[in-house]
Amino acid sequence: MEIIDTSNTKDAEAIEIFKEFLENNGFRKTPERFAILSEIYHRNDHFDAEALYVHMKKSDYHVSRATVYNTLDILSQCNLIAKHHFDGHVTRYEKTYGVPAHDHMICTKCGKITEFRDERIEAVRKDVAANSDMEVTGHALIVYGECKDDCTTGFSPAH
């Protein structure tokens, strides 16, 4: 088990992948889509659609909520972002290109997220695939807990 840091800004490569995906699947290459991708690849947190929408509204490139949701969906399809359901309220996303596969540990008091990698998870996936009638396509492991130091400044979901 190792705690990892996933921050990076490989947006140049991500843009290329996105272009290809759009072309190969008959989608249009609109400036809104690239503006959203760029915004996402400059963040290092686990954001939700609303946070992305609000941040882009303030920035130089305004896009509508509908476009945000639409683009998040396309980016999920081509695996440039991952979708998370840490709780029942909102779907959260994070960039994935250039980021090692990892899982999440989250503090239920303050929302702080720590990312880690553990090769045993991969072994479990293989075993599950072998012992069931299913082809495994993905997984999500979320470890819930509470910070030992006082993290009493309230719950800030995006980390």
Q: Given the rule CB under 7 A, which residues bind DNA? A: 22, 26-33, 48-50, 62-67, 69-71, 73, 88-91
We find the least distance from the C-beta atom of residue 92 to a copy of itself, in angstroms, to be 9
- 2 in helix, strand or coil? strand
Tallying the residues shown for the chain, one arrives at: 159
CB atoms within 10 A of CB 35: 18
x/- contact string, 15-54, with a copy of itself (CB under 8 A)? Answer: ----------------------------------------
- 154 in helix, strand or coil? coil
Spatial distance between the Cα atoms of 15 and 41, rounded to a whole number of angstroms: 10
Under rule CB under 8 A, how many of the chain's residues touch a copy of itself?
43
Task: Measure the CA dihedral 2/102/7/46, to 10°.
Answer: -130
Q: Do 28 and 65 form a contact (C-beta atoms < 8 A)? A: no
Among 28, 58, 60, 88, indicate the residue that binds a copy of itself (CB under 8 A): 88
Out of a copy of itself, DNA, none, what residue 58 binds, judged by CB under 5 to 8 A for its kind, is: none
Residues facing 156 on adjacent strands: none
We find the least distance from the C-beta atom of residue 30 to a copy of itself, in angstroms, to be 25
Out of DNA, a copy of itself, none, what residue 56 binds, judged by CB under 5 to 8 A for its kind, is: none
The interface with a copy of itself within residues 94-133 (CB under 8 A) comprises 105, 107-108, 114, 116, 118, 120-121, 123-125, 127-129, 131-133
The residues, ordered by sequence, that sit 6+ positions from 77 with a Cβ below 8 Å of its Cβ are 21
Task: HSE, CB side, 13 Å, CA atoms: give it for residue 133.
Answer: 0
Out of a copy of itself, DNA, none, what residue 55 binds, judged by CB under 5 to 8 A for its kind, is: none
Binding site for a copy of itself (CB under 8 A): 1-3, 83, 85-88, 90-91, 105, 107-108, 114, 116, 118, 120-121, 123-125, 127-129, 131-149
